[in-house]
Amino acid sequence: MDRENQNLNQIIAFAKKEGFIDSGNLAHIDKLDADGDVRPAFTSQQCDTLIQMAKDRMGEDRGKHIQAQRRSLYNFVVLLRYTGLRPHEGLNLQWGDIDLDRSRFNIKKGKTGKRVVPMAFPELIAMFREILADQTIDGVLPTGFLFTNPNGKRIGSFKTSFETLVKACGFKTDDPKGYSLYSFRHHLATYLTGVGLPDGLSVQIMGTSRRMMDAHYDHSNASAVLEWFDNRRGPSGNSGVVQVVAGAGPLLQMGSDGLLVLG
């Protein structure tokens, strides 16, 4: 679509130059955001494979430093798979942004502004709790960034280590852009659409480029997402259904068959 927009702008520019049309009545066709470009998306099965591979690689005896790096990569992959965050949004997460009691976290410097993201999957909540336990020392809760190097500084990028992980999984695509961390984002966007999540709530989770909607985000919007999931719980006792306390706790499960299980 971005290429079509660029071509249309070139046609309009030529028509203006030749005097065929009145430039005063024209609207500019915007270039799409960089992460709005079409990129290859992971399938649910590929996401599961990546997470399992990242977990398996943590157990390899490669020294404490490499094991710590691989644990951070594993946590980051889980984060992006179940939130669709842009990579820089995940890297910038700090403990002050995380509200485990209310199953949500804040994005303070997203591409489209601030937003509150609900923790909609039990795997995501479990990951946050594991990191919290790992980084709690002598009863002192962690502060600062979630993803840090041994020296305490924020990790700058997982790009290289993630490319190694994708290669280890043997994933290939005909798309010249190849798979990237953004492929998780495109996976979740496709998934949420497929299970029928209303557009407004999908925007709340994904933080899309609809700036007029992002400008009005607040905690009530996150509550709306949680309420939407809770209102669609299956009857008590259903096999495979996660029981959820309204407004808190795990909300969704992704099955390997791609079906949605509501808590």
In a domain, 172, yes or no: yes
- CATH no. for residue 149? 1.10.443.10
Structural domain boundaries, residue 248: 44-262
Residue 125 lies in a domain: yes
- Any domain includes 14: yes
Q: Is residue 90 part of a domain?
A: yes
235 and 257: one domain? yes
Residue 10 covered by a domain: yes
Q: Is the pTM of this model over 0.85?
A: no
* In a shared domain, residues 74 and 113: yes
User: How many separate domains does the chain show?
Assistant: 2
Same domain? 52 vs 163: yes
Q: DSSP string spanning the chain? A: -HHHHHHHHHHHHHHHHTTSS-GGG----PPPPGGGS--PPPPHHHHHHHHHHHHHHHTS-S-HHHHHHHHHHHHHHHHHHHH---HHHHHT-BGGGEETTTTEEEEEEETTEEEEEE--SHHHHHHHHHHHHHH-BTTBPP-SBSSB-TTSPBP---HHHHHHHHHHHT---SSTT---THHHHHHHHHHHHHTT--HHHHHHHH--S-HHHHTT--HHHHHHHHHHHHHTPPPTT-TTPPP-BTTBS--EEE-TTS-EEE-
- Extract the residue ranges of the chain whose pLDDT is less than 50: 1-2, 28, 30-36, 209-220, 236-250, 255-263
21 shares a domain with 150: no
- The region, left, alpha or beta by phi > 0 then psi within -120 to 50, assigned to residue 154 is beta
Give pLDDT, residue 56: 95
Tokens of 90: 């995940």
pLDDT the model gives residue 214: 31
Q: Does residue 38 sit within a domain?
A: no
Q: What is the pLDDT of residue 31?
A: 47
Q: Are residues 196 and 228 in the same domain?
A: yes
Same structural domain, 193 and 258: yes
Evaluate whether residue 91 is within a structural domain.
Answer: yes
Q: What is d(CA 79, CA 84) in angstroms, rounded to the nearest whole number?
A: 8
Domain identity same for 28 and 48: no
Q: What is the pLDDT of residue 251?
A: 54
Q: Is residue 112 part of a domain?
A: yes
